[in-house]
Structure 1
Amino acid sequence: MRALTEDLIPLMNRNAFVNDCIIDERANCAVAEAQKVALRAENVTVRFGGLNAVKNLDLVVKSHAVHALIGPNGAGKSTAVNALSGFIRSEGTVWVGEKTTANWTSHSIARAGLARTFQNIRLFGVMSVLETILVGSHTRFDGGLFSALFRSKAAKKQEREAVQEARRLIEFVGLPPEAAEMTASALSYGHQRRVEIARALISRPTVLLLDEPLAGMNVAEKAELSELIRKVYRSGVAILLIEHDMDVIRSLANHVTVLYHGQKLADGTPDEVLSNADVQAAYLGKGKA
């Protein structure tokens, strides 16, 4: 398991951590690492015709943290995540670590270190679990088209390593080894969610966006998947989580941002945000009018 955890810690962050830290100052180093910014957005705006679905969103997601993005239905949460992950056009600036560009695409932002899951499960109906997870490793293949087509030694080596890592991730997300050869779409709903997370993790992201991963689960399933989410962020992957269950938010999130009508309404710790009168009025339907 130690080797697996090391594999999940992004190499760039791990190397920076080693270079910046002195062995005798481990406590200070841990604090410094936790304060690093994994994802930053400034003035992100999404327009659909004359409608501002998201307006001037500023967001900072720290490393080694779960940052929850909450709000009532229609607040713009999924639109914001789609913009941050390059799936829809937006204005503003997004950084993944220290990387930014004026023209993020879903592919380029994945290469920069951002991976995601979707509100509705998106698996390939006829693929095995192993094959499905391996799809997520494409951002790490650097052999080029010729190498892939003609199966060079380097390409074969990368494929073997990817398969080994996919099998480790199957265990990491809590699936039995024999699940590797099963059809992904034939698994239970909760296990399909775990496959999605494994597919995202194989790209070795610095940031993982989870769009309502616990939706449709019972109390026991939520508790199990919440523990997996803790396991992921403790391995060094920052998480931006969209979730409606306030108990889950309180137990998982280090920081919370609330959207309302596409704009930021509140930002802070879970206790600060959930006790905010404006948040209660907008999101919970009580308190301040």
Structure 2
Amino acid sequence: MLKISHLSKSFGGVRAIEDVSFEIPTGGIYAVIGPNGAGKTTLFNLITGLYVPSTGSIALAGEEIAGVLPNRLAGRGMSRTFQNLQVCMNLSAIENVMVGAHLKLNSSLLAGMIRSPGLRRMDRSCRTKAAELLAFVGCEKFVAADASAMPYGALKRLEIARALAMEPKLLLLDEPAAGLNPTETHEIEELIAKLAKSGITVVLVEHDMRLVMSISERILVLDHGRRLAEGTPDEIRVNRDVIAAYLGGEVGET
């Protein structure tokens, strides 16, 4: 699904990502972890077109996408959420999800001005689909609610529903459990597993190690912008370099 080759990104004299390579197979859940400042969000921003790489290659389903604009990547089947909520609080929950489907809708100015029958049918279909997605993420009781009236945990799932409205093949989730209580975290964990079972490839940046270890099939560890390790949860859990990076100290210290 995704192949990263010798990817680097510099901001002035600072190397945020340095010579990172890895591959993500189609299907399943792939996690990216690392200490604060490791470069995880920068990596996401490179993959999703918010940043242009200094060097290296990013291939989506075999097609080079480095530097491609985010809206074009969305049209190719890539979607994401952000660590900080990007919900339109002046819209309802269902309208927020409908915004995510904008690439699938008729954007003709003339059709909008005359409110053509075809446009009205498309709007009704989009609204129905948005309600189904809200139910899919566990927010069915908020279909008629304003986003501003929803609890934080539900807003995190609302953002995932909006990302799903783009009908992605690859979904990148940036800190989906950030700020959630244990019950809400468990709900997000179940939702991520449900996404993978539906056939969507999920790439996850997350600090909650219990969540990461319980649902991920493979994990990439970054440290200071470099690839430190990659493997299964069991392999990462006992990796001495990873333990040293998280806990401090040198490998081999007692």
Specify the TM-score bucket, using the shorter chain as the normaliser.
over 0.9
Match of 1:158 in 2: 122
Residue 65 of structure 1 aligns with an amino acid whose one-letter code is: G
Note the 1:10-21 alignment, pairs <5 A: none
Q: Tell me, what secondary structure is at the counterpart of 1:53?
A: strand
Q: 2: distance between equivalents of 1:120 and 1:113?
A: 22
From 181, 184, 188, the equivalent of 2:151 is 188
Superposition TM-score, scaled by structure 1 size? 0.82
Residue 171 of structure 1 aligns with an amino acid whose one-letter code is: A
Note the 1:40-59 alignment, pairs <5 A: 40-59=3-22
Determine if the alignment matches structure 1 residue 130 to structure 2 residue 94.
yes
In the superposition, relative to structure 1, how do residues 147 and 204 fare at CA in structure 2: closer, same or farther (>3 Å)?
same
Q: Give CA-to-partner distance per residue, 1:226-245, whole Å, 9 cap, x none.
A: 00111111101111101112
Residue 86 of structure 2 aligns with an amino acid whose one-letter code is: R
Residue 168 of structure 1 aligns with an amino acid whose one-letter code is: E
**Structure 1 residue 215: Cα displacement:** 1.1
Match of 2:247 in 1: 284
Q: 2: distance between equivalents of 1:149 and 1:285?
A: 62
Match of 2:137 in 1: 173
Match of 1:265 in 2: 228
**Structure 1 residue 99: Cα displacement:** 3.3
Match of 2:203 in 1: 240
Match of 1:219 in 2: 182
Q: Tell me, what secondary structure is at the counterpart of 2:100?
A: helix
Match of 1:108 in 2: 72
Q: 2: distance between equivalents of 1:39 and 1:150?
A: 42
Q: 1: distance between equivalents of 2:65 and 2:26?
A: 21
Q: 2: distance between equivalents of 1:240 and 1:138?
A: 23
**Stretches of structure 1 lacking an aligned partner (at least 5 in a row):** 1-37
Match of 1:230 in 2: 193
Deviates more, 1:145-154 or 1:113-122: 145-154
Residue 91 of structure 2 aligns with an amino acid whose one-letter code is: M
**Structure 1 residue 58: Cα displacement:** 1.6
Q: 1: distance between equivalents of 2:6 and 2:110?
A: 41
Determine if the alignment matches structure 1 residue 39 to structure 2 residue 2.
yes
Deviates more, 1:181-190 or 1:166-175: 181-190
Superposition TM-score, scaled by structure 2 size? 0.92
In the superposition, relative to structure 1, how do residues 231 and 286 fare at CA in structure 2: closer, same or farther (>3 Å)?
farther
After superposing on structure 2, the runs of 4+ consecutive aligned residues of structure 1 that deviate more than 6 Å are: none
Q: 2: distance between equivalents of 1:188 and 1:140?
A: 29
Determine if the alignment matches structure 1 residue 70 to structure 2 residue 26.
no
Contact 1:68/1:255 (8 A) holds in 2 = yes
Give 1 or 2: higher helix fraction: 1
Q: Tell me, what secondary structure is at the counterpart of 2:176?
A: coil
Deviates more, 1:253-262 or 1:136-145: 136-145
Contact 2:94/2:143 (8 A) holds in 1 = yes
Residue 244 of structure 1 aligns with an amino acid whose one-letter code is: H
Determine if the alignment matches structure 1 residue 86 to structure 2 residue 60.
no
Q: 2: distance between equivalents of 1:146 and 1:44?
A: 44
Contact 2:49/2:66 (8 A) holds in 1 = no
After superposition, the CA RMSD in angstroms is 1.8
Percent identity, aligned pairs only, is 38
Residue 131 of structure 1 aligns with an amino acid whose one-letter code is: E
Contact 1:123/1:185 (8 A) holds in 2 = no
Q: Give CA-to-partner distance per residue, 1:251-271, whole Å, 9 cap, x none.
A: 110000000110111011011
